[in-house]
A and B are shown apart, each in its own frame.
Chain A
Amino acid sequence: MDIKRPHRRHVLSLVGGAAAVGVSGRAFAQAEPPKPTQIVVNHSGGSMGTAMRKAFFNGFEKKYGIRVVETSPVDFGKLRAMVDSGNVEWDLTEIGGQDAIRASKLNLLDKVDPKVVDRSKYPPTAQNPNVFASSVYTTIIGYRTDVFKGGTHPKSWAEWWDVKKFPGARSMRNHPTDNLEFALIADGVPKDKVYPIDFDRAFKKLDQIKPHVTAWWSTGQQPAQLLLDKEVVLATGWNGRFYDVIKKGGPIEIEWNEGALKQGSFAIPRGAKNPYWANKMLAELAVPQQQAVYASELGYPGLNLESLNFVDAKVKPYLPTAYLDKQFWISDEWYAENGAKAQELWNAWMLKKA
């Protein structure tokens, strides 16, 4: 920043400030910190970035005259390195659910300012002091509609495991999260009783499906692509990725039953350069009308429960919040404790010859 020539900008902001006072006296009373020229928001990128720009960033830029610089990908290791080294590049970053819990424990996050961000319309579970719940996504079953016509597709994990009745190649995520839960549910565990996870039972059940999984996916766009290429006829995947293909007329549909719900989150790294404006951005992310715009683009609804009122009726069936009781929540707390162990067991299981 140029410290040596503050005069002109200073004068300008004083004039601006005076004008603001003229409109409403509150702006002066709040004593806003000076506006930076830009803030940096880190997110997953791709179509999510495009939707965020449309739903939130453009409006923010227009409202405050602060440019929103986007970076990606989301990287917990990098977040920790930034905070530890005191050189925090991001003002706001997306963060995974279990990572958010671990980041809070490691004291890597700033608090969300309740005076700036209104979360009164959020469910109580989504009001973590350090973490802003931005959206809901779920891992569910995607299937090819030309292979499973008229509702003949598997409608539960037990049926997903039933390769006699529902033959065909499958794809699942190359990760313990979701799959351990799905295996237990397929094995008869009620979906509200999967935690704490019984590793032996889960992996024993996974042994049965392993030969029928053609591809273990590692990036979010793979499942939809695998279905489109007829590489597989059934794939687990994130609802928004399937929604994107369905919107474009692809021969894919979603089965929501027993889906694994997760919360997408944003947080302010400790030591961020513009924490006040990061909070202002969170306030923008909490506006129900804007959340509706975002949900219609991607299929990932926000947690301001009023936002569903602003969504088109055609879009609603593709939002996971419409099927909350059919699904279950992934326990971020359990993974924050047992994630490393689960990952190690998963790797060993993947290496095992079927």
Chain B
Amino acid sequence: MTTRAAWPALPALILLLVFFLFPVVRMLGFSVEAGTLDWYAKALGEGLYLRVFWNTFEIALLVTLFCLLLGYPLGFLMATTTPGWATFGFICVLLPLWTSVLVRTYAWMVLLGRNGVLNRTLMESGLTTDPLPLLHNFTGVLIGMVHVLLPYMVLPIYGAVRRVDPAIPAAAAGLGASSARIFWRIYLPLTLNGIFAGSVLVFVLSLGFFITPALLGGGRVMMIAVLIEQQVRETLNWPFAAALSAVLLVFTFAVYAVAQRFTQSEATR
């Protein structure tokens, strides 16, 4: 980027600097206000907080995996089907994005409960005798989060598949390649960028999740954002909240950096 090209971006850069970067730095400053790293020692030294960081990481990883498994076929289909079906797919993917997370979370409570729609259907059809434990546990949180975050996986993958020159798979098919081979040798390598972009988005967004785990997890699934919120709003221990946030932030950057390396090495190959 030349210096001249940077000028039009200046207002946005100033805006980010003043209203985003400065408050973040100021907030993180709380954590070392006392001149010691005690709050970091607490965040990283006590079993409780390490456990919750690990829980958060584990959930984010699983959510990303499920989003990928569900999102790739969907994004692929939308990119390769007729325009009419693609539009329909977009509506299905985007509509939930415009609905409040709280509403969607409550909707899942209605669907997944012991006497919810899903369990009643399963029991009435004789497939199960007892209600499946889908709500107020890890499963519920996973279902709810995958639903909320799926669009962030589908859209980058859709974009990546669209960018594949249709002549390449056509040529491969003409030369007798099976569709499985076309997928593994052409589509997958060429859409890795989209997969990484979607995965990073979903993973990073998962790390900060808050309402969904509290409601669908029945209190049993604790994520770090919940603890940070407690420190900010209930305990008013802002230095400790800042330390927890800093650890989360560094961790998020690390994940981003690793993913970035992967995508770049793929792109320059």
Measuring CB to CB, which residues of chain A are less than 8 angstroms from any residue of chain B? Answer: 75-78, 80, 102, 169, 174, 214-219, 222, 225, 229-231, 339-340, 343-344, 347-348, 350-351
Give me 5 A-to-B residue pairs in the complex whose CB atoms sit less than 8 angstroms apart, sorted by A's number. A76-B234, A229-B116, A230-B115, A343-B234, A351-B51
- Hey, which chain A residues are within 8 Å of B235, CB to CB? 339-340, 343
Measuring CB to CB, which residues of chain B are less than 8 angstroms from any residue of chain A? Answer: 47-48, 51-52, 109-110, 113-116, 135-136, 214-215, 218-220, 222, 227, 230, 232-238
**Central interface residue in B52, B218, B232, by most chain A CB within 10 Å:** B218
In the bound complex, CA of A80 to CA of B232 (Å): 10
Name the residue of chain A whose CB is nearest to the CB of B240. A340
Which 7 residue pairs of A and B lie closest in terms of their CB atoms, listed nearest first?
A: A216-B219, A174-B219, A215-B218, A77-B233, A215-B136, A340-B235, A77-B232
Q: Find out whether the CB atom of A350 lies under 8 angstroms from the CB atom of B219.
A: yes
Name the residue of chain A whose CB is nearest to the CB of B238. A77
Q: Find out whether the CB atom of A229 lies under 8 angstroms from the CB atom of B113.
A: yes
In the bound complex, CA of A102 to CA of B235 (Å): 10
- Hey, which chain B residues are within 8 Å of A219, CB to CB? 214-215
CB-CB under 8 A for A231 and B115, given A214-B136, A217-B219, A347-B48 = yes
**Candidates A218, A229, A230, A231; contact of B219 at CB < 8 Å:** A218
CB-CB under 8 A for A216 and B236, given A231-B114, A347-B227, A351-B52 = no
In the bound complex, CA of A218 to CA of B51 (Å): 21
Name the residue of chain B whose CB is nearest to the CB of A103. B236
Classify the interface of chain A: helix, strand, loop or mixed: helix
Q: Find out whether the CB atom of A348 lies under 8 angstroms from the CB atom of B48.
A: yes
Q: Find out whether the CB atom of B48 lies under 8 angstroms from the CB atom of A80.
A: no
- Hey, which chain B residues are within 8 Å of A230, CB to CB? 114-115
- Hey, which chain B residues are within 8 Å of A344, CB to CB? 48
CB-CB under 8 A for A216 and B218, given A77-B236, A102-B236 = yes
Q: Find out whether the CB atom of A351 lies under 8 angstroms from the CB atom of B222.
A: yes
**Smallest beta-carbon distance B230→chain A, Å:** 6
**Smallest beta-carbon distance A233→chain B, Å:** 11
Q: Find out whether the CB atom of B113 lies under 8 angstroms from the CB atom of A218.
A: no
- Hey, which chain A residues are within 8 Å of B52, CB to CB? 347, 351
In the bound complex, CA of A348 to CA of B230 (Å): 14
In the bound complex, CA of A344 to CA of B220 (Å): 15
Q: Find out whether the CB atom of A75 lies under 8 angstroms from the CB atom of B233.
A: yes
Q: Find out whether the CB atom of A350 lies under 8 angstroms from the CB atom of B220.
A: yes
Q: Find out whether the CB atom of B48 lies under 8 angstroms from the CB atom of A231.
A: no
- Hey, which chain B residues are within 8 Å of A218, CB to CB? 214-215, 219
Name the residue of chain B whose CB is nearest to the CB of A218. B214
**Central interface residue in A215, A219, A225, A343, by most chain B CB within 10 Å:** A215
**Smallest beta-carbon distance B188→chain A, Å:** 39
In the bound complex, CA of A340 to CA of B74 (Å): 46
- Hey, which chain B residues are within 8 Å of A340, CB to CB? 235, 237
In the bound complex, CA of A134 to CA of B114 (Å): 38
- Hey, which chain A residues are within 8 Å of B220, CB to CB? 216, 350
In the bound complex, CA of A77 to CA of B230 (Å): 10
- Hey, which chain A residues are within 8 Å of B110, CB to CB? 229
Q: Find out whether the CB atom of B233 lies under 8 angstroms from the CB atom of A214.
A: no
- Hey, which chain A residues are within 8 Å of B113, CB to CB? 229, 231
In the bound complex, CA of A219 to CA of B215 (Å): 8
Name the residue of chain B whose CB is nearest to the CB of A219. B215
Q: Find out whether the CB atom of B136 lies under 8 angstroms from the CB atom of A229.
A: no
In the bound complex, CA of A235 to CA of B218 (Å): 13
- Hey, which chain B residues are within 8 Å of A351, CB to CB? 48, 51-52, 222
Q: Find out whether the CB atom of A343 lies under 8 angstroms from the CB atom of B230.
A: yes
In the bound complex, CA of A75 to CA of B232 (Å): 10
**Smallest beta-carbon distance B221→chain A, Å:** 10
**Smallest beta-carbon distance A156→chain B, Å:** 24
- Hey, which chain A residues are within 8 Å of B51, CB to CB? 351
In the bound complex, CA of A225 to CA of B113 (Å): 11
Name the residue of chain B whose CB is nearest to the CB of A214. B136
In the bound complex, CA of A351 to CA of B110 (Å): 26
Name the residue of chain A whose CB is nearest to the CB of B110. A229
In the bound complex, CA of A296 to CA of B256 (Å): 55
- Hey, which chain B residues are within 8 Å of A169, CB to CB? 114
In the bound complex, CA of A229 to CA of B119 (Å): 12
Q: Find out whether the CB atom of B115 lies under 8 angstroms from the CB atom of A229.
A: yes
**Smallest beta-carbon distance B118→chain A, Å:** 13
Name the residue of chain A whose CB is nearest to the CB of B136. A215
- Hey, which chain A residues are within 8 Å of B136, CB to CB? 214-215, 231
- Hey, which chain B residues are within 8 Å of A102, CB to CB? 236
In the bound complex, CA of A17 to CA of B52 (Å): 62
Q: A215-B136, A343-B234 are in contact. List 18 more A-B contacts (CB 8 A).
A: A75-B233, A77-B232, A80-B236, A174-B214, A214-B218, A216-B218, A218-B214, A229-B109, A229-B110, A229-B114, A230-B114, A231-B113, A231-B136, A343-B230, A348-B48, A350-B219, A350-B222, A351-B48
- Hey, which chain A residues are within 8 Å of B219, CB to CB? 174, 215-218, 350
Name the residue of chain B whose CB is nearest to the CB of A342. B235
In the bound complex, CA of A216 to CA of B115 (Å): 18
**Smallest beta-carbon distance B123→chain A, Å:** 13
